[in-house]
Amino acid sequence: MTKPSGTILDGAKRRGRRPEAQDGPSTPFLPFTRPTIDEETIQGVAEVLRSGWLASGPNVKKLEAALSEYFGGRPVRTQMHATASLEHALLVAGIGPGHEVITPAMSFVATANVIVRVGARPVFVDVGLDSRNIDFDRVEAAITPRTRAIMPVHFAGLPVDMERLYAIAGRHRLRVIEDAAQAIGSCWRGRRIGSFGDLVCFSFHPNKNLTTIEGGCIVGGSPQELSQLELHRFHGQSKLAADEVDTLFAAGKANLSDVAARVGLGQLASLERFNARRRELAARYFSLWGHDAPVRLPARGDEGHNWHMFAPLLPLERLRISRLQFIEQMAERGIGVGVHYASAIHLFTAYRALGYREGQFPNAERIGRETVTLPLFPAMELSDVDRVVEATTDVLKGAAK
Ligand SMILES: *Cc1c(COP(=O)(O)O)cnc(C)c1O
């Protein structure tokens, strides 16, 4: 499966610097994202490696307890990645064959794939052009007698309107599985995403605001759902005694390792600082570009935005170059540009096979064509933003029709 980090620039990122960078060879290549792992965490990981207990153990318990505290005391269960978290959340919510789940047409493809994997049908709804979030004005029209759940995405960490989401879900008796993969630390009207709501899933992929290398978690769930989640992540097995187990159903395996959990504990201690830095960097983009930006800026949100990504749209109809050429010209200037995501989900082969067609969700389709992700990660300097803004403006000026 293609990971969200997969772009043509990964090679450049690995090389670390580009000899052809205009600022000269001494300016390091600026990737669009990079995790920050401190020395204390690296030491902690070394200790776990020496301890002899590498798979799920005391550190997973500690991470789940720390996350639970972070989310206001709600229960937390970790998984090997958020793709598993989302799939397990659907399963314990009883979503399966014959059911429909409403979800945005623009997201990372995992959001829709998990719906298909449990046997249900994803019913796409268009997103706001600037918010990238599901358009609640169109959600109720998509509800049918087969609808069982809504799976919204807090895209780039901008929370959806939680009041409208849960009002619609309540009116139609639907479960909500929040794809909060990008939203750790985001707040809606001062309340942390995950600290309220139904089943809320976070990702700890290296591109996300908090990483465990690979990892994810589900916040929420009844006591019965929590024991189901534990079965889903470990072979459907329940241990009855030291020498006695039962297997209740044929589940797979998706438990987090203790090494990964130790990385997460180190990250969680820095999360608020990381996110504060991301907000400063995003504010710098907005202040430098003001009202006459050469790109279409994303919705700004408020102080509750965790700025997982800074992804404006390119004015392609006014340019002589393609998005790929823009990415290449930025790389020549030593700047990494990502694409999240290069296509609306319904246009992928797997979803056209379900009957979806071009033209159904114009905003999602346009975002897929025009979006670019500019550098934003906690280790960046404000001057790096200046450099990105200057290079972007320069490339676009040179490419104007
Ligand atoms: C990253 C991401 C996922 C998948 O997370 P993994 O931990 O890589 O499985 C799902 N949905 C969205 C919106 C994401 O950004």
Is the model's pLDDT at 22 over the cut of 80? no
- Are 159 and 175 in the same domain? yes
Q: Are 118 and 135 in a shared domain?
A: yes
Decide if 319 is inside a domain.
yes
23 in a domain, yes or no? yes
CATH of the domain at 69: 3.40.640.10
* Alpha-helix residue ranges (DSSP H) falling in 241-298: 258-289
**Of 387, 286, 274, 319, residue with least CA distance to 24:** 387
Q: Give 19 Cα–ligand 1 centroid separation in angstroms.
A: 33
pLDDT band at 47 (very low <50, low <70, confident <90, very high): very high
Least confident of 20-29, 183-192, 201-210, 386-395: 20-29
Ligand 1 centroid, distance to 110 Cα (angstroms): 6
Which residues constitute the domain of residue 325? 11-35+270-399
Which amino acid residue places its CA nearest to atom 14 of ligand 1?
181
Per-residue confidence (pLDDT) for residue 291, from 0 to 100: 81
State whether 59 and 203 are in the same domain. yes
Higher pLDDT, 290 or 309: 309
Locate 15 and state its tokens: 């090389």
Task: Give yes or no for a contact between 86 and 217, defined as CB atoms under 8 angstroms apart.
Answer: no
83 contacts 61 by C-beta, under 8 angstroms: no
The answer on pLDDT for 385 being more than 50 is: yes
Residue 202 β-bridge partners: 217
Model confidence at 361, in pLDDT bands (50, 70, 90)? Answer: very high
Contacts of 309 (CB under 8 A, 6+ apart): 33, 156, 157, 182, 338, 340, 373, 376
- pLDDT: is 291 or 189 the higher one? 189
Ligand 1: atom nearest CA of 111 is 11
Look over the chain and give the mean of its residue pLDDT values, rounded to a whole number.
Answer: 94
Answer yes or no: is 4 within a domain.
no
Q: Average pLDDT, stretch 177-200?
A: 98
- Give the HSE-up count for residue 256: Cα atoms under 13 Å, Cβ half-sphere: 36
Q: Is 6 a member of any domain?
A: no
Whether residues 367 and 254 share a domain: the answer is no
Say whether both 166 and 50 belong to one domain: yes
pLDDT of residue 26: 62
3-state secondary structure of 122: strand
Instruction: Calculate mean pLDDT across residues 28-38.
Output: 97
Three-state secondary structure readout of 200-230: EEEECCCCCCCCCCCCEEEECCCHHHHHHHH
Final residue in a domain of this structure, among 230, 246, 264:
264
CA distance linking residue 374 with residue 156, whole number of Å = 12
Q: Is residue 214 part of a domain?
A: yes
**Residue 3 within a domain:** no
Separation in Å, CA 357 to CA 87, 148, 344: 25, 24, 11
Residues with CB under 6 A from ligand 1: 4, 81-83, 107-108, 110-111, 153, 179, 181-182, 203, 205, 216
5 within domain boundaries: no
Dist. CA 219 → ligand 1 center (Å): 15
64 & 195 share domain: yes
Q: Does 335 share its domain with 383? A: yes
Name the CA radius of gyration of the chain, rounded: 21
Whole-angstrom CA distances from 141 to 137, 145, 148 are 8, 12, 14
**In the numeric block, which tokens belong to residue 62?**
């500690």
pLDDT digits (tens, 9 = 90+) for 221-259: 999 999 999 999 999 999 899 999 999 999 999 999 999
Q: Contact 399/319 with Cβ under 8 angstroms?
A: yes
Question: pLDDT of 136-158, one tens digit each?
Answer: 999 999 999 999 999 999 999 99
Q: How far does residue 45's CA lie from ligand 1's centre (Å)?
A: 24
Whether residues 246 and 301 share a domain: the answer is no
Distances (CA, A) of 294 to 46, 128, 257, 279, 392: 47, 20, 45, 21, 8
> What H or E segment, with its residue span, contains residue 125?
strand 121-125
What confidence category does residue 290 fall into, taking pLDDT thresholds of 50, 70 and 90? confident
- The DSSP 8-state label assigned to residue 313 in this structure reads B
Q: How many CB atoms lie within 10 A of CB 156?
A: 25
- How many structural domains does the chain have? 2
**Residue to mutate (ligand 1; options 179, 186, 203, 340; most atoms within 8 A of CB):** 203
The yes-or-no verdict on residue 27 having pLDDT over 90 is: no
Shared-domain flag, residues 121 and 256: yes
Residues 322, 395: Cα–Cα separation, whole Å: 12
CATH number, domain of 368, equals 3.90.1150.10
Is residue 1 a part of any domain in this protein? no
- Residue 12 pLDDT > 50: no
Tracing tokens 């960097």 back to the chain, one arrives at: 281
Give Cα separations from 241 to 58, 238, 245, 246 (angstroms): 19, 9, 7, 10
DSSP state letters, 33-77: ------HHHHHHHHHHHHHS--SSSHHHHHHHHHHHHHTTT--EE
**Final residue belonging to a domain, choices 245, 264, 283:** 264
pLDDT at 194 (0 to 100) = 98
Residue closest by Cα to atom 5 of ligand 1:
82
Cα separation, 175 vs 225, in Å, equals: 13
Among 233, 264, 295, where does a domain finish? 264
259 and 306 belong to one structural domain: no
Pocket test for ligand 1, best of 115, 179, 184, 340 (most atoms within 8 A of CB): 179
Q: Residues 185, 257: one domain?
A: yes
- For residues 286 and 335, membership in a common domain is answered with yes
Quote the percentage of the chain above a pLDDT of 70.
Answer: 94
Q: How confident is the model at residue 292 (pLDDT cuts 50, 70, 90)?
A: confident
